[in-house]
């Protein structure tokens, strides 16, 4: 039987999740995720970007991102929740491994299950140099 969780509690979960990204705390990130979870990154070979299916793969995907953007920050977050769906909007800033700076708006779309995040689907603007 599914656990009923208020929209306010889900917004608090998204705030905790966003803070964990900014703190680069993989354990807190995974604490926010459901046992059966999925992560779809902004870029990758699939129509929905990179696919990380299952808890172990999600952790690997998150860790890869944290390792490759050690100064990455998700700034000015805004969270919206309605039932079992949620959205976080943010401005991502980081330095790429080649030293290039990134600043781009983006959002994550979430699905919740039993008070945890079961799906994180990321979208980020792709800025060009000219």
pLDDT digits (tens, 9 = 90+) for 95-130: 988 888 999 999 999 999 999 999 999 999 887 765
Name the pTM for this structure. 0.91
Taking the C-alpha atoms of residue 2 and residue 15, their distance in angstroms, rounded to an integer, is 22
Taking the C-alpha atoms of residue 29 and residue 31, their distance in angstroms, rounded to an integer, is 5
What are the residue boundaries of the structural domains of the chain, listed by start?
7-124
Taking alpha carbons only, the member of 105, 109, 107 closest to residue 126 is 105
**Residue 8 neighbours by CB under 8 Å, 6+ apart:** none
Average pLDDT, whole number, for the chain?
93
Q: Which residue has the higher pLDDT, 43 or 31?
A: 31
Taking alpha carbons only, the member of 37, 49, 45, 50 closest to residue 120 is 37
CB-based contact 89:6 (threshold 8 Å):
no
Token code pair at residue 84: 């079992």
Considering the domain 7-124 in this protein, what is its CATH number?
A: 3.10.450.50
**Residue 72 neighbours by CB under 8 Å, 6+ apart:** 21, 24, 65, 66, 92, 93, 94
């Amino acid at each position: 039987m599914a656990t009923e969780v208020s929209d306010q509690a889900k917004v608090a979960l998204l705030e905790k999740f966003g803070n964990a990204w900014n703190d680069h705390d993989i354990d807190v990130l995974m604490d926010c995720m459901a046992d059966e979870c999925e992560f779809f990154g902004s870029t990758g070979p699939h129509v929905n970007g990179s696919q990380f299916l299952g808890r172990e793969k999600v952790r690997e995907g998150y860790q890869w991102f944290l390792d490759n953007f050690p100064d990455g920050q998700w700034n000015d977050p805004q969270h919206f929740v309605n039932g079992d769906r949620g959205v976080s909007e943010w401005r991502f800033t980081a330095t790429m491994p080649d030293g290039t700076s990134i600043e781009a708006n983006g959002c994550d779309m979430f699905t919740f299950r039993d008070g945890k995040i079961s799906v994180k689907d990321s979208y980020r603007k792709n800025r060009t140099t000219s």
